[in-house]
Amino acid sequence: MKLQLIIVETGEKWRRALLRMVLEGKSGGSHNDYGSIGGAGPVESSTSAAMTHSDLYQRQPLLAANGVCPQATTNFYRDDDEEKDDDDLKRIEIVNANGAIRIEMPGPHREEPRYPKEKWKTFVAFLFLVFNFILTTTSLAMVHERVPDKDKYPPLPDAVLDNVPTMPWGLDVSEFIIMISTNLTFLVIVFHRHRFIVFRRVFLIVGVLYMMRSVTMYVTVLPMSSTTYYCSPKANSTSVILISKRVFQLISGFGLSINGKHTYCGDFIYSGHTVILIMCSLIINEYSPKRCILLHWGSWTASITGVLLVLISRGHYTVDVLIAYYVTTRLFWMYHTLANHKYLKQASSRNALSRLWWFKAFCYFEGNVEGPVPRQYNWPLPWPRRLLAKHPNRDS
């Protein structure tokens, strides 16, 4: 007796299985249904000769009529050669009671990249950003006591600041540009289809930038670059309570001087204003629609204008701005280069980028993101429903 299992595939799922049992006689026979069994001599086995057509040929649906398989008596597993193909059957169970066949199938193979939301990772990245922002303000609160007295120590020579007139109002205008740019960047991310991935990346990159800035401003304290900027009086002593009050004051003003909260000095290397302005332009150009050319050029124009206003107001030295631009762009481009290539997410002797100190954290947050994030957008809120139904997924 020969047992044949024929699998029929229709569409994307397995629909039906055919179980075919053929009695092969030595002398042959004849049949007029699916095949023929017959020959010149009689069939030697009396049991086989007594079998009817329904015993020889069976065609059953994938599941029993009542949807229940009462008992499983025989299990068949894949051969060794079949195990190489993940799309093969995992297990076949034949039930003798009613002739039903139950086949356990693996999940469908996904060829397109996956972009899981992983909201908990985005929340962890946000906590990382908040921690490093507090760390930066704490560093500034302590550096304030070490800033050289501007009445005794004049500003350092600067090739740009020494040849342009000082315009104190430029710092306020640059902070207005920062507020507009950050709100516009926020809208671009919110309307992005993969907003949780983009937010997670922004939190991580800005968090790393703040962490490095807290170190650079603390290890090297420069004299004041402006002779007109107001600095709070020094306490000539520090305590946990004093530092905490200063940190709370700086955080309440979001690190801006336009609201009168940023009255502590010494945060020069490197420029935080330049970091935010450049980051906004990089994010807008990376994640906004390609056809929005005016938006891309406008973001870079606003960033360059804001940086120049910081310089002419003497809010920072030129070296502060140059270092901020270099560090921000290199970190942003390295991060996205790693994120867009799957083979770069694996540490190896040939992958020099795997030696970065933040590489392991990067692998944790980006390990499940397969490929570059597409420029796709949708409505972020569950209402109104008509917007979701009309434009469920809008590409660039």
Catalytic sites, residue numbers = 273, 316, 320
State the angle between helix axes of 359-366 and 195-219 in degrees (0 to 180), rounded to the nearest 10.
160
* Tokens, residue 19: 């179980």
Nearest to 164 by CA among 314, 10, 370: 314
Spatial contact of 103 and 14, defined as CB atoms under 8 Å apart: yes
What's the Cα-to-Cα distance from 288 to each of 189, 230, 284, 330, rounded to whole Å?
A: 8, 39, 5, 20
Residue type, 222: L
The first and second tokens of residue 256, run together, are: 């801006």
* Interhelix angle 318-340/293-312, nearest 10 degrees: 150
Q: What three-state secondary structure class fits 186?
A: helix
| 208 touches 358 (CB < 8 A) | yes
* Biggest CA pair distance of the chain: 121
Tokens of 392: 């469920």
Question: Rounded to an integer, what distance in angstroms lies between the CA atom of residue 252 and that of residue 245?
Answer: 11
Interhelix angle 195-219/119-143, rounded to 10 degrees, is 20
Kindly state the tokens that stand for 65.
Answer: 């009529």
| Residue 209 DSSP SS3 | helix
What is the distance between the alpha carbons of residues 392 and 237, in angstroms, rounded to a whole number? 59
